A and B are shown apart, each in its own frame.
Chain A
Amino acid sequence: GAVVSQHPSWVICKSGTSVKIECRSLDFQATTMFWYRQFPKQSLMLMATSNEGSKATYEQGVEKDKFLINHASLTLSTLTVTSAHPEDSSFYICSAKTGAYNSPLHFGNGTRLTVT
């Protein structure tokens, strides 16, 4: 149980284009989803927290107009990287949890984004 599917697993795009990454909880309802970014040899950096039906909460230093997050349903959240630049190239990982207190995060398999 507790499977989170993230798509695509890797994507290459040209500078200036936008890329959408989907995150789905397959067998549970995710009241909260989180988007992380991982730089090489570094820890997971939380970008934003999204609750179904409300606006995402972004961490300090993360541009909300560049990283658009939509949590339209209890099983789907999307991250759109707008006007991508090479410095946006990274590994993006989503995670989801139920509303139960003290329940773990379950992660997708990540998306490797390369902007050329």
Chain B
Amino acid sequence: DQQVKQNSPSLSVQEGRISILNCDYTNSMFDYFLWYKKYPAEGPTFLISISSIKDKNEDGRFTVFLNKSAKHLSLHIVPSQPGDSAVYFCAASGRTGNQFYFGTGTSLTVIP
């Protein structure tokens, strides 16, 4: 059973515009959420995280929003750049802090 879901397998955005990647989860015990970026044949790179006590966390061009009541989080990238083209995974962990559940990924293409 997929506890973390990314329903959009792909997304295309024009350079300079906003990219919005979405993620839904089912387990209300999750309290820590992360976004990773992955290029082909490389390991994922940690981008940004948010704990359940917050609803927004910002780091440069990346902002993560958390809506606990909807069990939904999103990653905003503004402005999008061609180098942002990659697969983005969201992940969630629960109380033990030692189990991470990943979504299936969204492939982002930023068009120059």
Contacts and interface: CB of A to CB of B under 8 A. Distances in A.
Interface in B57-112: 89, 91, 93, 97-100, 102-105
Interface stretch (A12-20, A42-50, A66-74, A77-85): A42-50
B34 A104 contact: yes
Interface residues of A, number: 26
B29 interface: no
B63 to A, nearest CB: 17
Interface of A is mostly: strand
Contact of A43 (B32, B41, B42, B104): B104
Contacts, number: 52
Given A102-B32, A104-B46, A105-B34, A91 B102 contact: no
B19 interface: no
A94 B105 CA distance: 18
A60 interface: no
A105 B46 contact: yes
Contacts of A4: 43
Q: Size range of the interface on B?
A: 20 to 34
A93 B44 contact: yes
B26 interface: no
Nearest to A110: B43
B46 A109 contact: no
Given A43-B102, A105-B100, 16 more contacts: A6-B43, A34-B100, A44-B44, A44-B102, A46-B100, A49-B98, A93-B43, A95-B44, A102-B32, A102-B97, A104-B34, A105-B91, A106-B46, A107-B46, A108-B43, A110-B43
Interface of A: 2, 4, 6, 32, 34, 42-44, 46, 49, 91, 93-95, 97, 101-110, 112
